[in-house]
Chain A
Amino acid sequence: MAELLSGTDLSLLRGERCLFEGLNFALSAGELLLVQGPNGSGKTCLLRSIAGLTGLETGYISWQGVPTERDRQSFSAEVVWMAHRVGFKGDLTLIENLRFETGLRSATLGGIDEILARLGISRLTELPLRCLSAGQQRRVALARMLISDARLWLMDEPFTNLDAAGQTLVVDLISEHLAKDGACVMAAHRELEISVPVQRIQLQ
Chain B
Amino acid sequence: MNSDEAKIPGLWHGLRSIVRRDLLLAWKRPGDMLNPLFFFAMVSALFPLAVGPSAEQLAISGPGVLWVAALLAALLSLNSLFLNDYEDGSLDQIILSPQPLPLLALGKSVSHWLVSGLPLVIVSPLVAMTFRMPVETVGVLMVTLVFGTISLSLLGSIGAALTVGLNRGNALLSLLILPLAMPVLIFGARTVSLAAADDAVAAGIYFLAAYCMLAITFAPFAAAAALKISNE
Contact = CB atoms under 8 A, between A and B. Distances in A.
A88 B90 contact: yes
Interface stretch (B23-31, B114-122, B204-212): B23-31
A46 B25 CA distance: 33
Q: Chain B interface mostly helix, strand, loop or mixed?
A: helix
Interface residues of A, number: 39
B13 interface: yes
B97 interface: yes
Contacts of B16: 103
Q: Chain A interface mostly helix, strand, loop or mixed?
A: loop
A150 interface: yes
Contacts of A77: 6, 8, 98
A149 B28 contact: no
Interface in B24-42: 24-25, 28-29
A87 to B, nearest CB: 4
Interface residues of B, number: 34
A74 B6 contact: yes
A54 B6 CA distance: 24
Nearest to A73: B98
Interface string A176-201: 00001110000000000000000000
Interface of A: 51-55, 64, 73-74, 76-79, 81, 83-92, 96, 99-106, 128, 149-151, 180-182
Interface of B: 1, 3, 5-9, 13-14, 16-18, 20-21, 24-25, 28-29, 84, 87-90, 92-100, 231-232
